[in-house]
Chains A and B, each alone.
Chain A
């Protein structure tokens, strides 16, 4: 049996700090999330005392770029000297898992992976001092690498102490804020200094509100505030290089043409009174019969390439308002193999059960019973959405068939009116018309959209009326609206046969473009009449 380590024995060595910081964030933008997460928690913490101390300042998180520095500021609760001094401790956090978005105590130092220095300044309400923390990351990285080459092993705490500094200065006691400066960002991480990239990223992952340019936003926000206990969107401002300051919102806007959103309450199978998640979803919309209706296709937006266009296709998990994983995670965890229909929808799954914990890089959830329970309960999401997708597909087909048939009917009617339909063609038109009516009836039967059903009925009625017109045109007593060139010109049997072969060949040739065929047939007919 091994003896317990002696108190003085060093258990963690300097390279561990580099491994922790560098390997945790393969996607460097995750560093921004870490600091916004801390800022968000600080704002939530301050909200609990803001009323007591009558501080009515607007809680804000502000992100800006200056030179090669990324800055994240919040006017949340701030840190006192004791808390700032604990920034030296790796993976030390007094936050409780399940109560705040961040709780692992690693994210605060995320910046050391990508920058020369990390500078954090903070003060909390009532504290007469502003506390500064500096982590000279590049200096430490270089020293640790050199020591490794030389075979020198140094305890992590010694190295951290040598490459960090703490100091304080007087400040107004009423102040409360934190600023993080990730200074001297590596040229290999340009995305951290790119305002456009930051805007998209923060909008995607942060607990921000819906854009005022999204007509469903207010309604969605109200519902989420009502049913998701920790739903508390933050005001995040981003300074752009041109001097504009923009408020960052979720990415959904009216220009994306989003159909009316709906909700799915995910209930705990073991206790149906317990809601473990709330999902809102919406499909790509299209203008149909004076209203935006589900389009029934992959949710796409404007973009440069196929991947860019589909970037909002699918749902995304949200925990404390922050995204966990990307839109492929619900597809993988809930849809499995039959996933294409999942991409017809966009939306969010807000997890209410806070026993579900994210992995450190927030790409997934930690495998726990809570996660299992969530996935099990959330099976009703793909079940409902797949069914809905089928309905949307049926409705879309019912409308599209109706619309196509209507256009065809209008063409026939016009041709009938102008005498462009040959007697020989009548039979095939009547057959086609009958076939369309029958198919449209079947479509309408499967359609659940009452407006589309009504539209299809009107098209069928139009078809019935045209049928009568065609019947009348066919009768011997009718006028010459239906042309019979062979008969009118007293063609011989052989000539008739040749004429029929020519016309049949042309019809075959223009099978994909009947309009051109009819136009050509009318011209031939006119020319023959003129000549003979």
Chain B
């Protein structure tokens, strides 16, 4: 499994890590029961703060995707498979929506802004949207 992070992107590194692990689970690069790279190894390879890795793994555990076994490391949880189903479905919804908007003549940026606006509208109308990244 190959992980890249961009420290200068503005997105917190631990979130980037989480996204990549989730993506790996979704695409099958990481299977349930498989071990994630060790804390020290990942920190050393990516040259990032080990506490960042800890936070990412803990958050993933919080979301049920990963199990941390003390002294042994972090492993993809069995329920990750179920979560994969949900995200597969979400992915297809998104895919068709984007395709239709592109057909309507919108650019990538316009679609992105539409999405931001939509979230903002939802929030201002006090409809809760399930967040993808939980706040600490």
The answer to whether A and B come from one shared complex is no
Chain B: residues with CB nearer than 8 A to chain A? none
Chain A: residues with CB nearer than 8 A to chain B? none
